[in-house]
């Protein structure tokens, strides 16, 4: 079986909390590959089945009509579009140009005033204190330099504003899915595990003195598909960038082995008995007040 090391978005060394300083060319190459990963598949299609959980997360932001919202790693606008429908001054930013284009088209079709930018969570193109609420739902956690992400989230949020993050935990179903994938396609050594954003102690260290208060809540994020685990794996392979790229990195035998292991993971956690797929994945919701 052919095995290739790719810049994965899954588990890596769970002991480190920040990425090591890397030569600029290596990091830029990694970031280019990550951008290509998230532009693969079609996250706009993929996220449709995640909308119920996204709506619950959005409701938890407790936005007020005059709030300025920034959603970092916004995908195709899963939070920004419904926020704009409610009259919120909402902005989204994402690394993937095709998803930004989708989000803009969705907003235009509904004649919403939502604004979308293509950009990097590690270098947000906004002035200091530009937003009342800064959010990211399983998005910013996948940037390769978390210390820079944390600094940017804090920088663009006004004093006494709110930062709200939803991050997969290391022990979550999705954390386990990435572990399965990484047995076949090892993650890049240039970045710490994204799942560390689901570790409360690590989040405290990263946000540090930049916040006045920090609250954590572990919630069950629902996954529900009208087809069985084998079809779910194929759905992820087709539409979810990291899974799409993992399969592309393997030869035919390697793909068959990865498919079998992922199907076993989904089957083992599936609570449905009617040919569909239903399960929950643990999400750490982080609520911080900017100092």
Q: CA angle at residue 79 from 19 to 136, to 5 degrees?
A: 15
Measured over the CA atoms of residue 151, residue 156, residue 158 and residue 160, the dihedral's sign is negative
- pLDDT for the residue 38: 98
- pLDDT for the residue 271: 98
pLDDT mean across residues, the chain: 93
- pLDDT for the residue 10: 52
The DSSP bridge partners found for residue 287 are 164, 215
User: Over the stretch 213-255, which tens digit does the pLDDT of each residue have?
Assistant: 999 999 999 999 999 999 999 999 999 999 999 999 999 999 9
For residue 152, pLDDT beyond 60:
yes
Record: fold of 50-68+120-290: Rossmann fold (3.40.50)
Domain regions of the chain by residue span = 50-68+120-290
**Cα 222 from Cα 273, distance rounded (Å):** 16
Tell me the residue ranges of DSSP E strands in the chain. Answer: 68-72, 89-94, 115-118, 131-137, 157-168, 211-225, 277-290
**Model confidence band, residue 23 (pLDDT cutoffs 50, 70, 90):** low
- pLDDT for the residue 26: 93
User: Over the stretch 62-120, which tens digit does the pLDDT of each residue have?
Assistant: 999 999 999 999 999 999 999 999 999 999 999 999 999 999 999 999 999 999 999 99
């Amino acid at each position: 079986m052919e095995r290739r090391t790719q810049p994965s978005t899954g588990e890596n060394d769970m002991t480190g909390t920040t990425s090591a300083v890397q030569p600029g060319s290596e990091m830029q190459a990694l970031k280019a590959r990550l951008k290509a990963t998230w532009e693969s598949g079609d996250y706009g299609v993929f996220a449709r089945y995640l909308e119920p959980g996204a709506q619950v997360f959005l409701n938890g932001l407790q936005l007020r009509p005059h709030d300025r919202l920034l959603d970092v790693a916004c995908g195709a606008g899963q939070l920004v579009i419904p926020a704009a429908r409610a009259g919120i001054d909402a902005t989204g930013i994402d690394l993937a140009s095709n998803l930004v284009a989708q989000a803009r088209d969705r907003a235009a079709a509904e004649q919403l005033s939502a604004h979308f930018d293509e950009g990097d969570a590690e270098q947000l193109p906004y002035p200091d204190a530009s937003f009342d609420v800064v959010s990211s739902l399983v998005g910013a956690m996948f940037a390769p330099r978390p210390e820079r992400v944390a600094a940017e989230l804090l920088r663009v949020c006004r004093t006494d504003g709110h930062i709200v993050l939803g991050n997969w935990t290391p022990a979550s179903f999705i954390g386990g899915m990435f572990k399965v994938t990484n047995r076949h396609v090892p993650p890049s050594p240039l970045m710490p595990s994204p799942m560390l954003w689901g570790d409360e102690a690590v989040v405290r260290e990263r946000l540090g003195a930049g916040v006045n208060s920090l609250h954590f809540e572990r919630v069950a994020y629902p996954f529900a598909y009208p087809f069985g685990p084998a079809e779910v794996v194929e759905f992820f392979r087709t539409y979810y960038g990291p899974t799409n790229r993992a399969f592309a990195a393997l030869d035919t035998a390697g793909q068959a082995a990865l498919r079998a292991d992922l199907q076993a993971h989904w089957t083992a956690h599936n609570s449905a008995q009617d040919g569909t797929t239903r399960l929950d994945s643990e999400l750490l919701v982080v609520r911080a007040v900017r100092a």
